[in-house]
Structure 1
Amino acid sequence: MTPDSWVPVPDNSPFTPHTLPYGVFAPEDGPRRVGVAIGDHVLDLARALGDDTFARPTLNAFLAQGRTRWQQVRADITALLTDAARRPDTEPALHRAADVRMYLPFEAADYVDFYASEHHAANIGRMLRPGQEPLTPQWKHLPIGYHGRAGTLVVSGTEINRPWGQTRPAGTETPSFGPSRKLDIEAEVGFVVGTGTALGTSVGVDDFADHVFGVCLVNDWSARDLQAWEYVPLGPFLAKSFATSVSPWIVPLDALRHARTAPPARTAPLQDYLRDGKDWGLDLSLEIRLNGHLVARPPFTSMYWTPAQMLAHMTVNGASLRTGDFYASGTVSGPGPDQRGSLMELTWNGQEPLTLPDGTTRTFLEDGDEVTISATAPGPDGTRIGFGQVTGRITAGPRTAPADATETR
């Protein structure tokens, strides 16, 4: 069991000594650098460890060093924060989280988004293809995904400008151009790749932890009306490429040992390269809040495809990995009506408006709406591992913050 930290950690803090997530921060009037969250503080790793690897504006240099190094640094940080004898030398490297600004923690190389929830895929199928089989024929044989736009990944707190594009309203023949009227959320979980691979090689499911450094939260904003008009036959494009929000803290895989679980039972045979012998399902509990109101609790444990299977499929054709590659799970939805990870599902494509506790209703997002996604996972001895949160507010005007900056703590 990890001992208590000498740094004060509030009872409701997501960032205990069991978590120790990594992010990129800047103190007031200071340069960006890598830090680790502990309670209401951020530890400056370059100063605390005396290592210039962490005096950089992204995590990428550290990510490229590989799993052995990741584990050693985590052990070193744990010792710094739990050994009272190390306090005099370490305490000067602590910053109050309220006094720093957070940035996108890694420089993204490529971005892939999957469609790994059976419940989400089936709900969408029932809405769009009524009277037909809700899942497409290949869905249970391979993790479906698409290549997104790495350049529009933004950190939590960045305002989301309502996208414009072509739509074709029902009953019309000619498309129109204007702002999306069906702007939606997708509560997802993201995975950050550390070590790369050579072109022409693949990553097996059992090698997942050698390449993926850690886990974060994602909101893959989606313009459903743009998507409906553009996505046949090549899939998502402008409806999703305008912004994808990422939480500022990356929880290392080594913090999630107690969250690992077997995926749901398979109802179709798997190819050998997708047989996950190490049970890389994850027991994460997500919460979605709209304007502060809890609207859904999606369980990641219900996801049909594991992150290890997603990575194996992503590389089985010989596609190479690069440090900073990023992939997301797709919308996390469970079997219950209150476990759906998108407004499209929660309101059944606008047919069943969602009533909020303040009496207002929503089908899709309105200007000024703020969405916050948070999550926890089991830790050792009944503790909880926290992921912090990913937040975004919808605006009709230009973004008011840099695409990689946030004032969300």
Structure 2
Amino acid sequence: MRHAVDPRQGRLFDPSDGIIPPLGRKRIEDGWQAIFRHSLLQLMPVRQLGKHCDPAVGRPTKERYPVAGLLFLQEMNNWTTAEAVDAYLFRTDVPYALNLEPGSDEMCDRTLERDRALFIDDELAAKVMDAVTGQLIEHLQLAIDRQRLDSTHTFSHMGRFGRTRLMGVAIERFLTQVQRHHEADYTALPAKLRQRSAPSPARLFAVTGPSAEDRDRTRQHVADDLQGLIERFADHAGRRERSRYKTRVTIFAQPCEIVDDRVQVRAKAGGSCRQNPSDPDATYDAHKGPGYQVQLSETCSEDNDVQRIVATLPQTAASPDAEALAEVLRDSEKNDRWPDSMLADTSFGATRRCEWRRRRVSRWCVRWRARKEKLTPRPRPRRPRRCPRGRL
């Protein structure tokens, strides 16, 4: 049964009186806990989470506002599930921020993970962050007319594989699945291919030879094996629709190409290739490495006591900055956070400064290029040539 208590509803008696000492109470009221309790907790998507529960039948669920608020605090503090549950059970300031009576409720890891899965399935994270950002801008009275745009790199938690190991691990995992579900098809494969994929992924192709020719030869063998498996199971009704098979096709197509009916491994595959079979969205940036990047638009007005990120755009590491400008502006327009001026690097459209002016009907971007002043060398005074001893 759905159970939710509106945090805007007042209490006759504060349950934290007598539990939190006066000095601690003052610090909590001056900290993030009071802001979250009185301004942000009411923004949690309780109605969307509550649709998974019956409104009148069954055992009452955990109070929806504290659970959704705890998920938000978990992301804000980068807690694990166990750390978030410990904070819920043992810390005094967290129940205060969640509008709970200290020591009146309990929670296990499984409950939090279940609600977190609902949060992810319903795609509520972006909506909550937009609502919280708007509330903080209004609460802090921030000026958003002047913003700056820049990107930051985020590393992937998965390891980065080279092309040889990436294709080798793809073969090993695909054959493991074939052996599990279609043993007859696995037995029909060549014995040498099965033997090459038998070692664990950590030892697969660990010894390839000291020279570049040996490494190229091994990479070519792996590419031929992968291409042979793709063609062999292309018409297999039980395999071609599985995600593992489609992943193998993607991993093969990115670094390899077919030239005169032969597999040819490209000398450079580019940054848009996969770095790990388990992380399909991570790509490679030549300057920053594998992972992702996030475009951040932040206020930079001198009238603000603090600055706030007002727009974010997640991208792969290989995405160019020049294509992000329109997406960030579209997000700002959608959330009514359109800036009058925005500062960005030259990679965002080859300009030092971009100004946006808004009218009733249309909004457009006017770009100014920095004027390149011609530098004229200053004439150097001619000094007479003299020897160190003062003689001509």
TM category, shorter: under 0.3
Q: Which gives a bigger RCO, structure 1 or 2 (Cα 8 Å, sep 6+)?
A: 1
Of structures 1 and 2, the larger Rg is shown by 2
- Larger strand proportion, structure 1 or 2? 1
